[in-house]
Structures are given as structure tokens and as C-alpha cells.
């Protein structure tokens, strides 16, 4: 009964080689979020979608892009990963903009070599 | 400017003891204050949450105390158990985009048997 699924759980990529992380949800929630979490730090919001409406955080690097082809799926594209992009990437959902509860996926651990 | 400050960074408690984690916020527009629990290798999961019109909320062994005038809130874990060992994040959000949370830096709790 997994609700927010992230694939892969572990991803190794080379410096500068594009990588895509995926998130899917079975909750039919309108809002989907992508967070970056580095070791021993708080999750940092990169962007979120309200339905198809994309909202970028002001300090999210241009190197990070996202796509949401339908309600269930959302992708995080890192165009040219640097060593500093190694982190856990968390996907989360919430029912709509007024719903305060977020449901997080298990995360994808990205390693950049 | 860090909008949600959390302390302590780490906490060690004996089994059966009380764990207390504190958070302070700056933005008075925040109107929802959740606490998330995160185990290693997992995404955060909502533990308990409170709105500023309530001074205390209790769910089982977990209690949030809220002081609106001081702009502070805290998590108390009564009868702490080794299974409570995890990282705890406080957060804050606004009703206009309720799921978009600003997180504190986290507290790593270790409960010793």
C-alpha cells in the first residue's frame, strides 16, 4: 500500500552526466514537492507543482528542472550534476493547497562520482 | 534568514525519560506547526501538528506545547523508548500553501536502553 514511491532508491551518476529521478503517487493528490536533503540537514524545498502549475523556489539552481506529465508522476532532472548535488532527494505530496499534511516518499540517495 | 530555529541539535535520553525539543519561529504569518519524525534511510513522516489557537496538543506519548506570544513551540516525548530514536524536525507553514513547510534543522534523538 505504498503511497509515494520513488525510483530508484539509490542512484550513482558521474560528474556532469544528466540524471532523472522519478516519483509516483497513488493518493491522487494535487500538490507534489521535491526536496533536497543533505546529511544532517533539514529538507530544502526545490520546487512544487499545484496540479500542472509549476512553482520554483527563488534559490533553486537552474541545473534542477522538473516535469509533471500527469497527476501521478513527477520527475526531477539534474542537467549537469556536480559533487555538491550529492544528497537525498525527497518527493512529497499533499491533497491540495489548503491541506497541511505532507506525505513523503522514502527518498532517492544520489551519489556523484 | 532562518525562519525556524530548532534546538538541541542532538539529544540523548534514557529509556523512560522525557525528551524535549524546542523550536522558535520569526514569521507571525505561520499558522500551522507540524513535527516530523525521520528514521535513517526513510522520508519524514508527520508525527503531530498544532495550530496557533491551541496551546497544547497531546497524542499518546507525544505532546506539542505552543507559546504564541513567545513564538515558540516544543515537542515532549514522554516515557521515551529506544524505538523513538530518530531525527525530529519541526516545521511551519501558512494556510495559503499549507503543505509548503519551512523546516528546522532537526534534532537527532537517541534513547538509550
For position A1, what pLDDT does the model report? Answer: 62
What's the gap between Cα A100 and its chain centre?
A: 18
Shortest distance between the Cα of A19 and any Cα of chain B, in A, equals 21
- 10-residue stretch averages of pLDDT, chain B, 113 residues long: 87 98 93 92 91 92 95 97 97 78 93 96
pLDDT at B94: 84
Q: Which candidate from A41, A42, A106 shows the least CB-CB separation from B43?
A: A106
Q: Does residue B107 contact residue B10 with C-beta atoms inside 8 Å?
A: yes
- The Cα–Cα gap between B77 and B60 comes to 9
C-alpha B36/C-alpha B44 separation (Å) is 6
pLDDT at A2 (0 to 100): 64
B111 neighbors B13 (Cβ within 8 angstroms)? yes
Q: Which of A81, A86, A90 is nearest to A22 (CA)?
A: A90
Question: In angstroms, what separates the C-alpha of B14 from chain A's closest C-alpha?
Answer: 22
How close is the nearest chain B Cα to the Cα of A72, in Å? 17
The torsion angles phi and psi of A46, rounded to 5 degrees, stand at -95, -50
B69 close contact with A: CB closer than 8 A: no
Q: Is B49 on the interface with A (CB under 8 A)?
A: yes
CB B63 within 8 A of CB B75: yes
Give residue A83's pLDDT: 96
In this prediction, residue A111 carries a pLDDT of 97
The DSSP bridge partners found for residue A89 are: A36, A108
Q: What is the 3-state secondary structure (H, E, C) of chain A?
A: CCCEEEECCEEEECCCCCEEEEEEECCCCCEEEEEEECCCCCCEEEEEEECCEEEECCCCCCCEEEECCCCCEEEEEECCCCHHHCEEEEEEEECCCCCCCCEECCCEEEEEC
pLDDT in tens, chain A (113 residues): 669 999 999 999 999 999 999 999 999 999 999 999 998 888 999 999 999 999 998 899 999 999 999 999 999 999 999 999 999 999 999 998 888 888 999 999 999 99
Can you give the pLDDT at residue A41?
A: 87
Tell whether B52 lies on the interface with A, counting CB pairs under 8 A.
no
- Residue from B56, B59, B86 nearest B74 by CA: B56
Q: Report yes or no: A17 and A81 within 8 Å, Cβ to Cβ.
A: yes
Distance CA A80, CA B81 (A): 44
Do residue A43 and residue B98 have CB atoms under 8 angstroms apart? no
Amino acid at each position: 500500500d505504498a503511497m509515494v514511491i520513488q525510483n530508484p532508491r539509490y542512484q550513482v551518476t558521474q560528474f556532469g552526466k544528466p540524471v532523472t529521478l522519478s516519483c509516483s503517487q497513488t493518493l491522487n493528490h494535487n500538490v507534489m514537492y521535491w526536496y533536497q536533503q543533505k546529511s544532517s540537514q533539514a529538507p530544502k524545498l526545490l520546487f512544487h507543482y499545484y496540479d500542472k502549475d509549476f512553482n520554483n523556489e527563488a534559490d533553486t539552481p537552474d541545473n534542477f528542472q522538473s516535469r509533471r506529465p500527469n497527476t501521478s508522476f513527477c520527475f526531477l532532472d539534474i542537467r549537469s550534476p556536480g559533487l555538491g548535488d550529492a544528497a537525498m532527494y525527497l518527493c512529497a505530496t499533499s491533497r491540495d493547497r489548503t491541506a497541511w499534511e505532507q506525505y513523503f516518499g522514502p527518498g532517492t540517495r544520489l551519489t556523484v562520482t | 534568514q532562518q525562519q525556524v530555529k530548532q534546538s538541541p541539535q542532538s539529544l540523548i535520553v534514557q529509556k523512560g525519560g522525557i525528551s524535549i525539543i524546542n523550536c522558535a519561529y520569526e514569521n507571525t504569518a505561520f499558522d500551522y506547526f507540524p513535527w516530523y519524525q525521520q528514521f535513517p534511510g526513510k522520508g519524514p513522516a508527520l508525527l503531530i501538528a498544532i495550530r496557533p489557537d491551541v496551546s497544547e496538543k497531546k497524542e499518546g506519548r507525544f505532546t506539542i506545547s505552543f507559546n504564541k506570544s513567545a513564538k515558540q513551540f516544543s515537542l515532549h516525548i514522554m516515557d521515551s523508548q529506544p524505538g523513538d530514536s530518530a531525527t525530529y524536525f519541526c516545521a511551519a507553514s501558512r494556510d495559503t500553501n499549507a503543505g509548503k513547510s519551512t523546516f528546522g534543522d532537526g534534532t537527532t534523538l537517541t534513547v538509550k536502553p
